């Protein structure tokens, strides 16, 4: 009888603990906009509405631009500079493991040897070459984007539209040049572009897999990191999001089919496999893990 009573008591305490955790999570959903600047933005929603933020990576997530737009833009910049270098599809896929275009060029030439006069140059001169080439590459990339159709991925625009309707904050956090990211966002149309905050390029010193760009987005947008869901397509992006205490869903891109996504909250081929309700559940579970140690 004593054992029975003790078991019942333990079960009751467990049920109470779970109920309190769930209630606390629900209570915490009153607003993701904890900071004064967030409250001033007017995005506090009515009780029961969605209360999370969506932060997208850009290339490979918003649009499939890496293989067919970025890569040829790099190659054209190399050719214009008279540098005998052409990144094929396979090599560029390897270089994508490094965040940032300037950083990719440095990695490539560190591995295969620097071209021409730069073979004996100091680090500052070499970095200057990378900056010069990247600036020209960005101009080429933007011209390609602004003159043609952007290959947006399935349900990206529809998801952003859903976020606008429900007052869900949206940001884009990318290692790509800010001008290039803004070009992709602007092609979405004025209404969408006005709703999206962009954090890109050298806005932070440490790029993905460091969490800095996501931490900055949370700070400037007035967001609680545990109530943000990040949409990424790479392992380095996943690691950045998780280090920022955010939930992260993966939409695999052309180059990332075989990367390790075991720490992701969900892995899909594209956003056709989800909706706002699913994202809300993912965010709730993520916050519960951080606040109460429960899933």
Q: How far apart are CA 172 and CA 154, in angstroms?
A: 17
| Choice among 51, 57, 212, 265 that is catalytic | 57
β-strands 170-174, 247-251: how paired? unpaired
B/e letters for 18-56, b = 16+ CB within 10 Å, e = fewer, are: eeeeeeebeebbebbbeeeebeeeebebeeeebbbbbbb
| Choice among 49, 51, 59, 233 that is catalytic | 59
Peptide bond just before 209 cis, omega within 30 deg: yes
Q: Contact 253/243 with Cβ under 8 angstroms?
A: no
Contact residues for 200 (Cβ-Cβ < 8 A; gap 6+): 58, 172, 173, 174, 175, 176, 177, 178, 180, 181, 182, 213
Burial class, 293, CB count within 10 angstroms (exposed 0-12 / middle 13-18 / buried 19+): exposed
Instruction: Reply yes or no on whether 202 is catalytic.
Output: no
Instruction: Reply yes or no on whether 59 is catalytic.
Output: yes
Q: How far apart are CA 39 and CA 27, in angstroms?
A: 17
Q: Contact 99/200 with Cβ under 8 angstroms?
A: no
Rounded to whole angstroms, the maximal C-alpha distance in the chain is 88
Active site residues per annotation:
57, 59
């Amino acid at each position: 009888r004593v054992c029975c009573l003790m078991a019942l008591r333990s079960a009751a305490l467990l049920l109470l603990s779970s109920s309190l955790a769930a209630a606390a999570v629900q209570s915490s959903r009153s607003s993701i906009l904890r900071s004064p600047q967030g409250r001033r933005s007017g995005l506090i929603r009515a009780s029961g509405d969605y209360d999370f933020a969506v932060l997208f990576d850009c290339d490979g997530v918003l649009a499939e631009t890496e293989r067919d737009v970025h890569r040829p833009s790099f190659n054209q910049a190399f050719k214009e500079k008279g540098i005998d270098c052409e990144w094929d599809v396979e090599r560029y896929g390897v270089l994508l493991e490094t965040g940032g275009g300037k950083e990719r060029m440095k990695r490539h030439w560190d591995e295969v040897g620097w071209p021409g006069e730069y073979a004996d140059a100091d680090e500052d001169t070499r970095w200057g070459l990378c900056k010069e080439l990247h600036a020209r590459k960005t101009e080429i990339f933007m011209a390609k984007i602004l003159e043609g159709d952007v290959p947006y991925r399935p349900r990206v625009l529809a998801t952003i539209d859903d976020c606008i309707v429900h007052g869900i904050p949206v940001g884009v956090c990318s290692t790509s040049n800010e001008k290039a990211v803004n070009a992709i966002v602007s092609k979405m149309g004025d209404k969408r572009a006005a709703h999206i905050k962009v954090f890109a390029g050298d806005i932070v010193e440490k790029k993905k897999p460091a969490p800095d760009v996501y931490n900055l987005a949370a700070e400037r947008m007035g967001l609680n990191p545990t109530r943000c869901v990040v949409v990424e397509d790479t392992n380095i992006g996943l690691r950045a999001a998780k280090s920022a205490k955010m939930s992260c869903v993966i939409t695999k891109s052309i180059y990332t089919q075989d990367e390790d996504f075991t720490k992701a909250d969900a892995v899909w081929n594209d956003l056709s496999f989800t909706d706002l309700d699913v994202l809300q559940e993912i965010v709730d579970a993520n916050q519960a893990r951080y606040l109460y140690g429960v899933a």
